[in-house]
Every structure is written in C-alpha cells, then in structure tokens.
Structure 1
Amino acid sequence: MDFWPEFLLIASVHLVAVASPGPDFAIVLRYAVRYGRNVALSASLGIGMAIFLHVCYSLLGLGLLIKTTPWLFTLFSVLSAAYLAHIGWQAIRSGEPSHTASEDVTAPVAETPSRLKAFTSGFVTNGLNPKATLFFLSLFAVIISPVTPLSYKVIYGTYMAFATTAWFAFLSVILTREKVRAFLLRKGYWFDRLMGAVLLALAMHLVYSAIQSSLH
C-alpha cells in the first residue's frame, strides 16, 4: 500500500488533536510559568513518551477492550479525574510567587519539582487521559487501514510521540521567554490558581462523562 497519503492524513489529524487545549496544555502552561523552562520541557517529554503507551495498547487491541468494557472505562476515567484534581488542588493552594520586580523572573521558584517528577506528571497526565484513549482507538480502528503493515504503524506511533514532544517543547520555550513569563508572573498567584481551576474543571468533566457513559 502507499505509505505517504495515510501518513499525511494521520499527521494532520494528530496536529489538530495535539494543538487542542486540554490537560496536557494546562500542565505545561502551569509548569512553564511557575517553575521555568527545564521543568516544562521535562513535562513535555513525559507527555510525548506517553504516546507510546497509547500506541502499544492500540496495537494490542487493549484500547478496544477499555472502550467496550463500561466499568473498565469508568475506572480509567475516574483515575484520570482523581490525578487531575490532585494537581489542580495543589495549584489552587499554591502561594504567591516570591519574585519581586527587581528579581530575574526567568528563574524558577524555590519549590521547583525535579525533572523526573515533572516528566512523571506529564506522562501520567497524558497516559490516563480517556480522550487520548478514544483518539488512538479511533485512529487505529478507522483512519489506519487494517492492511497497513505493522512496521508502518510503528512509524506512525513514533512520529506522533516525537511530534507531541516537539509541540509542547515549543510551547515551553515560548511561554518561558523573558517578556512572556514576566507578563504572566506579574499577574500574581491568581494565574496559578486559574490553572488549578481549569484542571479541576477537566476532572469534573471526566467524572460526568464517565457517569453518563455508564448510564447508557
């Protein structure tokens, strides 16, 4: 079969999906503004590497199992909501940044998490995202042809993992440019709390969606 038409279609669909605001964007945005570029880049790498998780269970058929088993999908959604709610609550409780007008706003705050912790947060946030599960299920069940060789599917998955990492790394760099970050930090700790509220709203939406799915 012809590789390029299918690859370009997948790349286009993936670009729209990865650029859409969601938990991944909220995590990177919060980390970039509050903790600086290195932490945001680590979270971006974690998000990108989680794509391999989705690709693996899609290739093994586990994505279809999750989707067609109501209690398993509900459990998956609740776990994701609980994790997002935990991060959101931490953001809401965070104190005002300690930077003053004379300090270097490009420097991270004192309580900066390790790169490993940021990577793990990014990986878990994307890995437990039910919307990502549904996206890859649809991708491998509808867009990718059943006769597509396994080697092609591996190439598709590898591309999406690195493209996702590149996109969020790009956002990390843009958001941590001195003028951009200075502007966001000058708005005070309400910005961090706003991100927390967004994450809590996403968590509640996941729970609501899970309940609705279980009722049908």
Structure 2
Amino acid sequence: MNEFFAVALVTILAVISPGADFAITTKNSYLYGRGVGILTATGIALGVLIHVAYTLLFVGAVMKFMPNFLDIIKYIGAAYLIYIGYQTFVQKPVSQNGDSLPISPTQALKYGLFTNALNPKTTLFVISTYTQIVRPDTSLGVLLGYGAFMSLAHFVWFAIVALLFSQSHLRQKMLAHQVIINRIIGVLLAGLGGLLLVSNLS
C-alpha cells in the first residue's frame, strides 16, 4: 500500500506539472473544440502505455546494450517539440464559429500520442518510477496496474484541461486572440525542445 501511494503521488505531481502535453491539449481544445481536446488527451494516455510497455519489457536489456538510449529519446523528442512548436507558431487562424473541424480525430489522437511518446520527461518519469520506487519482487499484475493508473491519471487530467479550454465563453475569447496565443504556445514548445537539445549536448 505504501508503494502504491508513492507511485500515485509521483504520478499526480508529474501529470499536473506544465509541459508539452499541457500545451498541445490546450491548443487543440481551444482551437478545435472539446472532442478534439478529449481525443488529444486519449492519445497522451496511450503514449504513457507505450512508455510502460517498453519499460517493463525491454528497458533493462536496452540500457545494457544501448546505454545512450535516453540520449536518443531526448534528441528525437527535442526535434519533435521544436517541429510542432514551429507549426503552432505559424498556424493560420481557424474559424471562430466552432462548426469546422480542421483536423481529423486520427490527427488529434496522433498529436497527443506522439507528443507524449516522444516526451523525455515522461520517459524518465516512467523508468524512474519502476526502477526507483517499485520493489523488484512486485508482481507483474501489480506492475501492469501501476501502468494503467499512470495512463488513466494522464487521461483524466488532460480531459479536464480539454473541458476547461473548450468552454464556449473562454474558447471564443481565446479564438479572438488565437494568433498571439498560438505564437506563445509555439515558442514554449520550441523552447522546451531547445532546452532538451542544449542539455543533451552539454
């Protein structure tokens, strides 16, 4: 039970700390509406499951035979954040009537999935949770349960974010200033990627 509380506490703190997942969910929710925001949150939750899967299945062997694995993830993640940051910065304004759906449900899922799956912050969070907090003799069923909890926590939090920023009154206000907001979010995303890149090179 103490182990579960430790995992739960670390998960909650990791989920609510601002980062790329928060930025992409906010952007998709206010630009494209509640449905796209929820799908983005779903993609983020699926991304967490990818981290859990390779941590449980391969991380020991990968770290043994490829000690620079985390550095590779950081480079890929940094490049992706810079890319979506640029795309957000130069994005053209979308309709303010709320009727159009400029991106498909599949695209919304992919935005969330790739943002999280390529996020070194989540990589380090999942790996450190399983290697530093969870006991070596913890059963596979419990380990899978922890992974499911991490994924669910991400979905719940970012679904709340989606619901908040897709509210009609707030959304219309944000859509009226979407060029400025998109540039701010774009700079933040690209800045996160740049910081990851610099830290990896240093």
Which residues of structure 1 form unaligned runs of 5+? Answer: none
Match of residue 39 from structure 1: 36
User: For 1:77 and 1:210, how far apart are their aligned partners in 2?
Assistant: 7
Give the alignment partner of residue 141 of structure 1, picking from 118, 131, 135.
131
From 126, 129, 152, the counterpart of 2:119: 129
Q: Does 1:171 align with 2:161?
A: yes
* Unpaired segments ≥5 residues, structure 2: none
Q: C-alpha displacement at 1:73, in angstroms?
A: 2.6
Q: How far did 1:46 drift?
A: 0.4
With structure 2 as the length reference, what TM-score do the two structures score? Answer: 0.92
In 2, Cα distance between equivalents of 1:95 and 1:136: 36
Matched, 1:112 2:102: yes
Deviation of the 1:67 alpha carbon: 9.1
Match of 1:155 in 2: 145
Query: 1:187 aligned to 2:177?
Result: yes
**CA 1:12/1:42 → structure 2, altered by over 3 Å: closer, same or farther?**
same
**Cα distance, 1:144 vs. partner?**
0.6
CA distance in 2, matches of 1:141, 1:149: 14
Q: Which residue of 2 aligns with 1:91?
A: 88
> How big is the shift at 1:16?
0.5
**Count of residue pairs brought into register by the alignment:** 202
User: For residues 122 and 91 of structure 1, what CA distance do their matches in structure 2 show?
Assistant: 14
Structure 2 vs 1, CA of residues 188 and 61 (structure 1 numbering), >3 Å: closer, same or farther? closer
Q: 1:79 is matched with which residue?
A: 76
Q: Is the 8 A contact 1:43 1:123 kept in 2?
A: yes
Preserved CA contact (<8 Å) 1:80 1:203: yes
- What residue number does 1:49 align with? 46
The superposition leaves residues 59-85 of structure 1 with CA deviations (integer Å, 9 ceiling, x where unpaired) of 124267359845433322121122112
**Equivalence for 1:27:** 24
Q: Which of 1, 5, 12 is the aligned partner of 2:2? A: 5
Matched residues, percent identical?
Answer: 33
Amino acid at match of 1:163: A
Q: 1:85 to 1:148 in 2, by over 3 A?
A: same
Please, what is the CA RMSD of the aligned residues? 1.9
Confirm or deny: 8 A CA contact 1:97 1:189 kept in the other structure.
Answer: no
Distance 1:82 1:198 in 2: 14
Q: Deviations over 1:50-108 (max 9, x none)?
A: 11111111112426735984543332212112211221111111123443xxxx4xx15
Determine which structure has more spread, i.e. the larger CA radius of gyration.
1
Shift of 1:143: 0.6
